[in-house]
Structure 1
Amino acid sequence: MATGPGTWAYRDRFGDSFGRTFFRRFGPGVVSSIGIGTYLGEPTDEVDDRYHESLVLALESGINLVDTASNYRHGRSERVVGDALRDADIDRDAVVVASKAGFVPFDRSRPDNPGAYIRETVLDSGLASADELAHGSHTIAPNFVDEMVDRSLDLTGLDHIDLYYLHNPETQLAITDRETVYDRIEAAFEVLERRVAADDIGRYGVASWEAFRVAPDHDSYLSLPEVVRRAERAAETVGNEESGLEAIQLPFNVVMADAFTADVHETEAGELTSALWYAHEHGLHVFTSASLAQGDLATEIPEAVDGVLSGDTFAQRALNFSRSAPGVTAALVGASSPEHVAENVAAGTFDPLGARVFDSVFE
């Protein structure tokens, strides 16, 4: 597991190579403000090999945050993350590993009959009932989430996952009402609270796509304050002294900035605020996905923003925008090639924007 001494030693080893605030507080120690994701790519041995090379390079260059999920590339991503951790010249306790549960994973490749596979592995095995399965592929049923934690530990070969997310829980809104979804989130949180207590995971979070950055009347909206309340109730039910909910993951970049600009979450004072500001005020770490807008920002950035950002390439400047936002602990970016890893690592040699300059982008 990632530890305070392990991550601080990692920071001492690499920190002088980067700009200010590249390493930021998280959990018992620190984490790099650029993290490596493992979502994209075909489920093939060739892509596995490229990911392995990229991850080892990143870990040996100053990035100690790796993000994956039980369903990414049909489980291959979790496997390659574990292999890279064992092969890289770094200690396990220096690296923060995050994974997720929500979408039903296949095993290495897409089966000939996905529906039959899901019936057999999820419904018939009692991991979820049919009315808990959205779009035939998504569930946060307690038994399923519990099984996915075990699966993540098994595929990575690790005895501890540092951060474990519920993956896109807003998907459940396609099949039931919002209050029921909050109930399902709370039940899943109870599972994760127990896994925190058992030291199988360090802390947990919610990885979303639309939920926290759309208006309350949107079909995919979830209230971040309500999610926090449900985590507190789950901790109380399980008997933990405080909630293990410590992070959210959501898209944020130059062209998708509504996590900062959309005031859609009600504070205790009855005022509305954005997801980033609410998270910042309530001690939740924010990890940004889609930091390069699926690669679009690697080739072009709006001129009004590009002029205030530091970096030699569009990709570097886009990453530095995402990790400059208030409350953001790290910006995630894919790692499917060593060349891109080297470019992304170099983004951290530039300082992020100060608060005043960042705010000026939106004036």
Structure 2
Amino acid sequence: MIKGYASLKDTKSYFENRNINTEKIRKTPWFYTLPMAIGTYLGNTSKEHSNLYIDSIIYGLINGVNYIDTACIYREMESERNIGNALNFVINEKKILKRNEIVISSKAGIIDNDFKLNIAPKEYINSILLKKEKIKREKQIIEDEEVIYSIDVKLHEFSIKNSRKNLGLNTIDVMYIHNPERVKMEIGEKNFFDALKNLIKFYEGEVKKGHIRFYGMATWYAFRVSEDNPMYISLEKVIKLAEEIGGKDHHFRFVQMPYNMKDNTAKTKKTQKVKNEYLSAIDAANKLELKVTISAPLNQCNDFKTGEFNSKELIKYVVETKGVYAAMIGSKKRENLIKNLGTILD
């Protein structure tokens, strides 16, 4: 397991060593990155796609992209393993980078399978999660018997343990609670926040153990839908809970949500109430001192098929939006990463 985590000093040096214009760099109180991360959602579990990801990640890490985003569910854990292979290559084998120069974020709470086991998702859920790990079915949501969603502490503990192993990291910089709105929709407001309280206690404990450094929520609908929607989650209420458990120095510091030229509701629709004022999800997060990262900035490439937009237009629109810290841009192929990086540094 590779020890350490991203530091302010070493991430700053990372960009200085590459003569990257400081105006292009974003800063948190804990590290520096570009306003983009290498996203690892798209693709299948084939060896071909894994090799493409490993090549792209290594190239990116060497050439200025020190931020990588993933999730346990992405490509049945293969994306995390590909990142782990790339990190081992640049840190341990070639010794051209240090762990403290790199920011890694992942997500826990949705699991479908482990590709290495060569079993069906339904068998993985029943044999591994429910039987071997003794995660109780009544606390979960099963969709089509192939995906499990949860805010149960035991599943998140299992997921983080797997992610650390897959990535080969002692400490993950940011761990997101993945799409918790799917659980809230099923169990209701009170039951959801009762369960979330236990989960936040667990995440603060994971920080103390050194397993993660920060945590947050990666959502699809939760912060952007109206209050009467069963998937709505109040950011202010979540932060009050984090402060109740972890004090003002709590470690819930990041949120992730979709935002792009075709779906800009995260910035334009005032859905979140903070101190009796309705704000957009992005503006509310900023007011609550959270860093906002963006999923689907390229609308998962759907607009390329019609020729409606090009990647440069889409990327610029997202990263130049006030309140956005960084976009998670899928970069399975090196040539796409080079093009995306060029847009950021332009």
Cα distance between partner residues in 2 of 1:212 and 1:338? 33
Matched, 1:294 2:300: yes
User: In the alignment, which residue of structure 2 is the partner of 1:255?
Assistant: 262
Distance 2:134 2:157 in 1: 9
Q: C-alpha offsets along residues 84-138 of structure 1, whole Å, 9 cap, x if unaligned?
A: 1222332221110001101124222685543332122222235532122113411
Aligned residue number for residue 318 of structure 1: 314
Find out whether 1:7 has 2:8 as its counterpart: no
Query: Which amino acid is 1:329 matched to?
Result: Y
2:103 match? 96
Matching of residues 195-234 of structure 1 within 5 Å: 195-234=206-245
Residue 39 (structure 2) aligned to one of 37, 59, 67:
37
Given that 1:299 and 1:315 are in contact with CA atoms closer than 8 Å, whether structure 2 keeps it comes out as no
CA contact (8 A) 1:163 1:204 kept: yes
Contact in 1 for aligned 2:107/2:178 (Cα 8 Å): yes
Q: Which moved more, 1:318-327 or 1:114-123?
A: 114-123
Pairwise CA distance, 1:266: 1.0
TM-score with structure 2 setting the length: 0.91
CA contact (8 A) 2:112 2:124 kept: no
Corresponding residue number in structure 2 for 1:272: 278
Matches for 1:47-196 after TM superposition, within 5 Å: 47-88=49-90, 89-108=96-115, 112-126=119-133, 128-136=135-143, 137-196=148-207
Q: How far is 1:44 from its partner?
A: 1.4
Tell me whether 319-328 or 246-255 shows the greater mean CA deviation: 319-328
TM-score, normalised to structure 1's length? 0.87
Q: Is 1:342 aligned with 2:346?
A: no
Residues 239, 288 of structure 2: 8 Å contact kept: no
Instruction: Report how far residue 25 of structure 1 moved.
Output: 1.1
Number of residue pairs matched?
333
Partner of 1:175, secondary structure, is helix
**Partner amino acid, structure 1, of 2:66:** N
Q: Which runs of 5+ in 1 are unaligned?
A: 307-313, 351-363
Write the letter of the residue equivalent to 2:201. Answer: E
Deviation at 1:206, TM superposition (A): 0.3
Residue aligning to 1:354: none
Once the two structures are superposed, residues 272-329 of structure 1 have per-residue CA deviations (whole angstroms, 9 ceiling, x without a partner) of 1111111111210000000000113446686xxx8xxxxxxx2122111111112211
Q: What amino acid maps onto 1:319 in structure 2? A: I
Letter aligned with residue 282 of structure 1: L
> 1:47 is aligned with what amino acid?
H
Q: Which amino acid aligns with 2:11?
A: T
Percent identity of paired positions between Structure 1 and Structure 2: 27
Report the CA distance shift for 1:224/1:300 in structure 2 as closer, same or farther (over 3 A). farther
TM superposition shift of 1:4 = 1.5
**2:336 is the counterpart of 1:330:** no
Work out whether 1:284 is the aligned partner of 2:290: yes
Distance in 2 separating the partners of 1:109 and 1:210: 31
| Aligned with residue 244 of structure 1, among 247, 251, 267 | 251
Q: Is the 8 A contact 2:188 2:230 kept in 1?
A: no
Distance change in 2, residues 1:40/1:147 (3 Å): same
Displacement of 1:26 in angstroms is 2.1
Aligned-pair Cα RMSD in Å: 1.9
Distance 1:289-1:15 versus aligned 2 partners, 3 A rule: farther
Counterpart code for 2:328 = L
Q: Following the alignment from structure 2 to structure 1, what is the Cα–Cα distance between the partners of residues 116 and 88?
A: 24
**Distance across 1 between alignment mates of 2:283 and 2:33:** 21
